[in-house]
Structure 1
Amino acid sequence: MRWSLFVLLLAGLPLLGIIAAGRDPAPYLEMPPTTRYVSHAGFSWPWFCFFVLADLLLIGGLLWAIHHGRQNKREATKRPDLPRALKMATTTAGFQHPRRFPWWGWAGMALCLAFWLLAWKRFTWFWILQPHTFLPIWAGFILAVNALAVKRSGSCLVLRRPLRFLLLFPASAGFWGFFEYLNRFVQNWYYTGIEGMGPQEYSYYSSLAFATVLPGVLSMIDLLLTFPALGKGLARCRPYHLPSSRWIPVICLLAACFGLALIGIFPDQLFALLWVSPLIIVLSIQALAGRHTLLYPLRHGDWRPLVVPALAALACGFFWEMWNYFSLARWTYTIPFVQRFHLFEMPILGYGGYLPFGLACLVAGSLVIGDPFGWEDADHLNAVSAPGNR
């Protein structure tokens, strides 16, 4: 029941804003979404510079954390008082040794490459399935990423939690479907190649494509954690204690809800909240309920839940945009103020949206399969071994 109310809150706020502004909500509920009803502002150098600064601050913070983590990792390995269990907990994928690249990883790579070719070519014999290559490309990619994690660390998310990993696929369809719904209010991207599809056909095929988002990002997180600078290093960064005032999550929750209600009224000014507000709302509610959020490990110097998901989504975003570029069924961007300097279809500054999106993926994935990377255990050991507790 409470999750139903939570979903209604997130979905209802933008629609409530439209209705309060006296607009017709019908275009925002169109299925499939093909009507263009938002006229975006053109390119603006002041806004462009503002988003450049914002992206540089985000990326600079990530690079600082990685560099700081590498230094602390080298220092930690020299500490004789550091518990052996803590050193083991700050690695990923269990405590196994690397293995050979598994056969199913090669199968995944073959599947990915074959459908990449089919997606970008226009074979006459393949025309019926031409718009539907997204799912097999990403299914092969997910297998290949998990196989690479096995080669590097001896395990992967698929092998550790196979049944729960399968639950990520239906959950992902609803998860990304929500962001598609929010996009109706700002129309930062729209699809071509879906003309003529009815509501049921579009819902079916889009759900298959959307189902790969969470498995792809979480698999990439698992792979990135096998790199020492992102795994062990980020687990031993400088502790950061967030303010404990209960008013902070209340204020953040109200501000995020208010911003989400206004994105349809001011789509040019508030489009970035599409990626930020849902995450802030979830974290605020978790904090008010007394639950640990992904920010909690920062107090023990564990920056992995904040840095690695952002990098994982950015890496996946590169492949999303690349494989989309020459596909038949594809998306195109219309982002106000920054619609220049493209990498594939995406304006280069638009890639900054992948950073908070990665955190949202981690939160959503953790709700489905629990603690997929063992961070809660490592966080407990970090707390025990902190200077004030020894």
Structure 2
Amino acid sequence: MPESALARTVGYVWSFATIFPAILETNQLIKPIFKNVSKKPSKPTDKKLSVYFALGLIFLIVPLLLPSEVASYLFALVWVGFAFLLEPLNYKLGGESLFKEFENGKLTTLFSLFLAGLICGVLWEFWNYWAIGKWIYTVPIPFAGPRIFEMPLLGFLGFPAFAVEVYSLQNFLIVVLKKNQRLAELFGVV
């Protein structure tokens, strides 16, 4: 890692500036595979949306409140926390939402996001393995499985969850930008 905080921050921003479009573009590319995947339509109740929102808050806050040696075991909560937090907001604010798809009896986006996350995760780990400066993962759980490239097998479950979070975050930002016309024009979201 660069010693300079500015250089590290630029690196982090650049990394995520490429990760988000990769997931979202891969999702769009493979979405037709799942176009016929459906379920029984179900309209989410306000209570259900509130429970998901509350769980998202809990999942994101609890690891911050606990000692690091305990919090390190709660990484799965962070993997899903933002999706649980933002999906109810997206639905209530009229943005794109997985809840809206479920209401229409569709699972297309959920399944395509899962596969997009997995595809991107495998590619990133492949490239990471051969890189000079690379991520080395430490997982506190003994049953994390064998390493595939540098990632323990269990870690690959985080990529599908991360793809859902990216989708949820993008849709939340679009809703917020559309609510503020000036910001929407500035970022080209109309």
Identity %: 24
CA displacement at 1:316 relative to structure 2 = 0.3
Aligned residue number for residue 325 of structure 1: 129
- How far off is 1:281 after superposition? 0.7
Structure 1 unaligned residues grouped into runs of 5+: 1-193, 371-390
- Structure 2: give runs of 5+ residues left out of the alignment: 176-190
State the match for 1:302 in structure 2.
Answer: 106
Counterpart-to-counterpart distance in 2, 1:252 and 1:360: 14
Does the 8 Å contact 2:90/2:171 carry over to 1? Answer: no
Give distance in 2, aligned partners of 1:204 and 1:240: 44
- Once the two structures are superposed, what CA deviation does each residue of 1:134-168 show, in whole Å capped at 9, x if it has no partner? xxxxxxxxxxxxxxxxxxxxxxxxxxxxxxxxxxx
Cross-structure match for 1:354: 159
Larger Rg: 1
Q: Say whether the 8 Å CA contact 1:253–1:281 is kept in structure 2.
A: yes
| Residues 246-255 or 206-215, more deviating | 246-255
Which residue is equivalent to 1:340? Answer: 145
Report the AA paired with residue 154 of structure 2.
Answer: L
- Structure 2 equivalent of residue 216 of structure 1: 22
Give a deviation string over 1:75-99, Cα, whole Å, max 9, x none: xxxxxxxxxxxxxxxxxxxxxxxxx
1:43 equivalent in structure 2: none
Give 1:287 deviation, angstroms.
4.1
Counterpart residue identity of residue 366, structure 1: N
Distance 1:367 1:254 in 2: 17
Report the CA distance shift for 1:251/1:223 in structure 2 as closer, same or farther (over 3 A).
closer
Aligned partners of 1:323, 1:258: CA distance in 2, in Å?
34
Aligned partner (choices 44, 47, 58) of residue 258 of structure 1? 58
Q: Structure 1, residues 263-284: CA drift from partner, whole Å, max 9, x if none? A: 1313144221111111111113
Residue deviations 1:281-333, cap 9 Å, x none? 11133345465622212232321111101110110000010100121111111
- 1:273 maps to what in 2? 77
Distance in 1, matches of 2:123 and 2:20, equals 14
- The answer as to whether partners of 1:218 and 1:365 remain within 8 angstroms in 2 is no
Check conservation: 2:96, 2:171, Cα contact below 8 A: no
Q: 1:292 to 1:368 in 2, by over 3 A?
A: closer
Of residues 22, 39, 44, the one that matches 1:238 is: 39
How far apart, CA to CA, are the structure 2 residues paired with 1:282 and 1:314? 21
CA contact (8 A) 1:250 1:284 kept: yes
Q: Secondary structure at the match of 1:325?
A: helix
Distance in 1 (CA, whole Å) between partners of 2:81 and 2:74 is 10
When the two structures are aligned, how many residues end up with a matched partner?
170
Q: Does the 8 Å contact 1:295/1:305 carry over to 2?
A: no
The answer to whether the 8 A contact 1:250-1:288 is kept is no
Q: Whole-Å Cα distance in 1 between the matches of residues 56 and 169 of structure 2?
A: 18
The verdict on how the C-alpha distance between 1:366 and 1:290 changes in structure 2, with shifts beyond 3 A counting, is closer
The CA distance in 2 between the partners of 1:366 and 1:225, in whole Å, is 17
Q: Distance in 2 between matches of 1:295 and 1:350?
A: 26
Q: Is the 8 A contact 2:31 2:109 kept in 1?
A: no
Residue equivalent to 1:133: none
Shift of 1:214: 1.2
- TM-superposed deviation, 1:261: 1.6
The structure carrying a bigger helix percent of its residues is: 2
Q: Deviations over 1:322-346 (max 9, x none)?
A: 1001211111111221343111111
Quote the Cα distance in structure 2 between the aligned partners of 1:225 and 1:311.
9
Given that 2:44 and 2:103 are in contact with CA atoms closer than 8 Å, whether structure 1 keeps it comes out as: no
Runs of 4+ in 1 over 6 A off after TM superposition: none
Q: In structure 2, what is the equivalent of residue 314 of structure 1?
A: 118
Q: State the distance in 2 between where 1:353 and 1:292 align.
A: 22
